Structure 1
Amino acid sequence: MPTAPHAAVTATTITAPPPRPMHTDAERCVRAVQSKDARFDGWFYTAVLTTRIYCRPSCPVVPPKPENMSFYPSAAACQQAGFRACKRCRPDSSPGSPEWNQRADLVARAMRLIADGVVDRDGVPGLATRLGYSTRQVERQLLAELGAGPLALARAQRAQTARLLIETTPLPMAEIAFAAGFSSIRTFNDTVREVFALAPGELRDRAPKAAQKVPAPGALSLRLPFRAPLNPDNLFGHLIATAVPGVEEWRDGAYRRTLRLPYGHGVVALTPTPDHIACRLSLTDMRDLTIAISRCRRMLDLDADPVAVDAQLSADPLLAPLVAKAPGRRVPRTVDEAEFAVRAVLGQQVSTAAARTHAARLVGAHGEPIDDPEGGLTHLFPAPEALAALDPEALALPRSRRTTLTTLVRHLADGSLRLGVESGWEEARARLTELPGFGPWTVEVIAMRALGDPDAFLPTDLGIRRAAQELGLPHTPAALTARSADWRPWRAYAVQYLWATDVHPINSIPA
């Protein structure tokens, strides 16, 4: 069971969670609502029996009486029970539950796929096929844990996307319905009225007019929420320092990169601010909006639970000063798991600069060109299918690494190796280990940044061993691995704190 947010025990804070879903513990949920604890937003939802609305725990209105509260594990479950979203706290736009990015069981993988738009594109049978289970098994497990099946969960996501577009853009309602994934205007209108108790036009009329900016074709500006604290230094610093020319850049205070998406491509600009990540998206097809947002949130690890992570790591007296100095570090991840795996191979045993050079050559030779009127982005990173036919002799790499790279892309292209959000972490590790040239460091860095395993660990990494030695931790791989057992299940975050002890570009945002 994942660890819910921690806090000191006072009259208005929450004790450590029991080993069961939080929404089933009414006493703890009531205390979270009464203290308006934003750390629990996304962990559960409060349905008010008298008003028939549902809220996030931090809703600013006066909390209802405990006997009038009911608790649900998802917005979709609230909607299925006949509750509408609160107009004040907008529970549908709260950060996602951290559970789905720190587990690899069927439900967690299903939730990641639903966020990636699989149900909208391929239906529930397509979701079940990607997971390797029957449709009935998937529906039964989602209902048991989340109180809603895959269709209801996807519907709730479409409603949230529709609200975002209605309130922040002047796009015609027909275009919004299409972009949000609805099959018809009627379904769009009915869903918006049912979920928000307002017609689409009424939602737009209530929104601040300043927020409704006229976008460039296919462009959209929005805010990505997160649970505080968030330290952007290593998060953005890592992405910027390893940026592949033509695919990524740091421009005007924003990390920008190209996105390969199911219906087309896009360019995103992400800017850290104290209380949100400013996101500007340009898409060739607005149907990719929900998917692009989901992938950006995943890359920036925005659904993490930093309080739980930092509390666990601070229990080690040698790590505690690092956490206290810069709490809220995230694990920089990726928008494209196959791309990251290729880049991990290119970065084996070379400097950051050399890895960028190798990747840039690959992009120039095999990437798909795009236009970027705002900056210097020129290509999408090449898909495995485009790399599967490359000539190994054309690669400026040692022969053994050429074999590693060509074997990897061949397995990615033919589907025998899957590293998507539906992948089981241990199964993917086992498959990677079978490939030539994949040692523990490469497998674990892919597990950490592509697969998203929060407990991935790199005891053989030179920077980690050097930091461990300086802190007085064991610095041989075996001894450090044994010591790291106390940091589980958050060892990937411990890696970020240990890396941050070094003066390196990955640990800071350029001035």
Structure 2
Amino acid sequence: MVDCVSANGLDFERCYRAVATRDARFDGQFVTAVRTTGIYCRPSCPAITPKRSNVTFLPTAAAAQQSGFRACRRCLPDAAPGSPLWNTRADLAARAMRLIADGVIERGGVPALADALGYSQRQLTRVLSAELGAGPLALARAHRAHTARLLIQTTRMPMSDIAFAAGFASIRQFNDTVREVFAVSPTTLREESRRLRGDAIPNGNGPSVNGLLTLRLPYREPLDRSWLEWFLSAHAVPGLEQWEDGVYTRALRTPHGYATVRLQVLPGHVRAGLTLHDMRDLAPTVARLRHLLDLDADPVGIDDALDAGNRRGRMPFSPGIRVPGCFDGPELLLRTMIGQQISVSAATTHTSRLVETLGDPIPGPMPYLFPSAETIADRGADVLTGPVRRTASILNVARALASGDLVLHSGRTAADVRRDLLALDGVGPWTADYVTMRLLADPDILLHTDLVVRRGAALFGIDLSDTGRWAPWRSYLSMHMWKRALAERTAPARLGSPPMMNRGMPLAARR
């Protein structure tokens, strides 16, 4: 994997080489702080490479801001793809960063973050400060500054509305933070953006048009577009999701209401159209979109490691494959259980019936939200069909989610999630691994019992019992196996909908 992190922190020589070569693969993994200018940049910044004696490397933008540096307005370091470390690392700092990106501190403060992670506020602050160079409040502040800059430069929203949407407590706090981070006022930041990039923002792009925003979500190339597009299209549930002409449209719950998103994968970025019921949900919605599409992965590092392990394989892997994440843990688990032992198309039919009957109606192109666990627990028996035992298991899981006995969020450890899932009736090892992989973006889960993965391994000439050389990228290996097996059964030019996809072992074998 491409990184500059050693056991003792950032490796100065590796970081400096990345900056000297303007290697964009390192963007998001660290920032370069220049003491003579007081500015911090992304590694690929086109500015003249600073002297060694004038630079220091910091793990996060928050650490740079905490040290008194301001963001470069040329390379926009906060606009880089997120660090892949928050997925590959499973320690407290990484799990905290995932929850901070989801807006937990804006909604409940540091106590909510500490409670979700199971640590005291004091211990949490101490660990984050030591690992990331900034405490939870400073990390959340950096996220608010990023959201504010995004809205300032890409919308015509009034500054007062931007302050509210970005999570600031007051206009004064918003103004002070923008000046401190970017060294100019919010108005100047907007004027500079218009001069440099042109005033191409349509009139009324803001809350006056139902919160409509159009954003560019960058990613590290390469990206296997065909795989992501197949995955989204094959699993789209009518009434909730739609795939049409290369655009994925989806309605989803957000912390303060709901949103409708439209996604199109393009070279170098994903074009995202967001219609938000509440503008405070912008940052967590963007974080969930990046998680869904695995946009913060380091594909070059992953591909190099897998290619090295596949030196005896019969055929090369396709570059840039991603492991799809999810919008919501409870929904992922319930949809996975509904799809057990049946085809993808049958699973979408069953799920669509559930959504249309129990989902909350909303305005917009997608008429329903996925029903809550509480609703499914209360009324799911009237809608769910299929084997009695499977239906009972789904209802029991819905009750556990509704009561809080089962908690699924991105701040938990893989071991804890898998343990809790396996304790549920009707959830076996395959389901537990699949949900853990997608919920936590865990890069190292091999779905070795999956029938399609086994078929793909046979086509690649890979022995799945010899898995040590694939660590820590076994989730990506599973995606390669899936894709290869599916491509073998469908037209050569595209991935179609196979009779069976991610069903894995028979239900009786999963218990």
Q: TM-score, normalised by structure 2?
A: 0.92
Corresponding position: 1:247 with 2:227: no
Would the aligned equivalents of 2:313 and 2:462 in 1 still touch at CA under 8 Å?
A: no
Unaligned regions of 5+ residues in structure 2, if any?
497-511
Instruction: Provide the residue aligned with 1:497 in structure 2.
Output: 480
Secondary structure in 2 aligned to 1:258?
Answer: strand
- What is the aligned-residue identity percentage? 51
Shift of 1:388: 1.5
Match of 1:11 in 2: none
Contact 2:58 2:64 in 1 (8 A): yes
Cα distance change of structure 1 residues 357 and 328 upon mapping to structure 2, 3 Å threshold: same
Which of 13, 25, 32 is matched with 2:18 structurally? 32
1:335 corresponds, among 304, 310, 327, to: 327
Task: Specify the code of the residue in structure 1 equivalent to 2:401.
Answer: L
Task: Name the residue aligned to 1:443.
Answer: 432
- Equivalent-residue separation in structure 2 for 1:88 and 1:412 (angstroms): 46
Does the 8 Å CA contact 1:60/1:89 hold for their aligned counterparts?
yes
2:38 and 2:262 map into 1 onto residues whose CA distance is: 38
Q: Is this contact kept in 1: 2:232–2:243, CA < 8 A?
A: no
Q: Which position in structure 2 is the counterpart of 1:9?
A: none
Q: Which residue of 1 aligns with 2:502?
A: none
Deviation, 1:207, is 1.3
Q: Compare 247-256 and 496-505 and name the one that shifted more.
A: 496-505
Residues 57-96 of structure 1 aligned to structure 2 (within 5 Å): 57-96=43-82
Q: Please say if 1:50 is aligned against 2:30.
A: no
2:270 to 277, 287, 295: 277
C-alpha distance after superposition, 1:360-405 (max 9, x if no partner): 1110111101111xx3x11001111211112535421101101210
| 4+ aligned runs moved over 4 Å, structure 1 | 504-510
Aligned with 1:407 (options 396, 400, 404): 396
Change over 3 Å in CA distance of 1:254–1:112 after alignment to 2: same
* Aligned equivalent of 1:368: 360
3-state DSSP of counterpart to 1:210? coil
Aligned positions of 1:443-462 closer than 5 A: 443-462=432-451
Change (3 A) 1:393 1:290: closer
- Deviation per CA, 1:44-84: give whole Å up to 9, x if none: 11001110000000000111111111111100010011110
Q: Deviations over 1:228-269 (max 9, x none)?
A: 111111112101101111111013421110110011100011
Give the paired residue count. 485
Flag the 1:32–1:124 CA change in 2: closer, same or farther, 3 A.
same
Separation (CA, whole Å) in 2 of partners of 1:29 and 1:271: 33
| Corresponding position of 1:313 | 306
- Contact in 2 for aligned 1:269/1:280 (Cα 8 Å): yes
Encode CA deviations 1:411-435: one digit per residue, 9 max, x unaligned.
1111111111112111110111111
Unaligned stretches of 5+ residues in structure 1 = 6-15, 475-479
The DSSP-based 3-state class of the residue aligned with 2:378 is: coil
Q: 2:286 aligns with which of 275, 293, 296?
A: 293
Query: Does the C-alpha gap of structure 1 residues 286 and 391 become closer, same or farther in structure 2, counting only changes over 3 Å?
Result: closer
Q: How does the TM-score come out when normalised to structure 1?
A: 0.92
Counterpart CA distance in 2 for 1:162 and 1:354 is: 43
Q: Distance in 1 between matches of 2:191 and 2:165?
A: 20
- Does the alignment pair 1:102 with 2:102? no
> Which SS does the other structure have where 1:406 is aligned?
helix
Match of residue 133, structure 1, among 114, 119, 123: 119
Q: Please tell me whether the aligned partners of residues 359 and 368 of structure 2 are also in contact (alpha carbons under 8 angstroms).
A: yes
Query: What SS does structure 2 have at the residue aligned with 1:500?
Result: helix
Mapping for residues 471-486 of structure 1, pairs under 5 Å: 471-474=460-463, 480=464, 482-486=465-469
Deviation at 1:4, TM superposition (A): 3.0
Please identify, of 162-171 and 482-491, the stretch whose mean Cα deviation from structure 2 is larger: 482-491
1:182-217 CA deviation, whole Å, 9 max, x = no partner?
000000000001100110000111113434233232
**Structure 1 residue 311: Cα displacement:** 1.2
Deviation per CA, 1:9-37, whole angstroms, max 9, x where unpaired?
xxxxxxx864443x2x1111111100001
Residue in structure 2 matching 1:357, options 338, 344, 349: 349
1:303 aligns with 2:296: yes
2:157 counterpart of 1:166: no
Comparing 348-357 and 404-413, the one that deviates more: 404-413
Q: What residue identity is the alignment partner of 2:468? A: A
Q: Are the counterparts in 2 of residues 236 and 509 from structure 1 also a CA contact under 8 Å?
A: no
Q: Which residue of 2 aligns with 1:219?
A: 212
CA 217–99 in structure 1, closer or farther in 2 if over 3 Å, else same: same
Letter in 1 for 2:13: E
Judged with a 3 Å threshold, the aligned counterparts in structure 2 of structure 1 residues 51 and 432 are, in CA distance, closer, same or farther, namely same
TM-aligned CA deviation for residue 320 of structure 1: 8.2
Residue 141 of structure 2 corresponds to residue 155 of structure 1: yes
Question: Counterpart of 1:353 in structure 2: which amino acid?
Answer: S
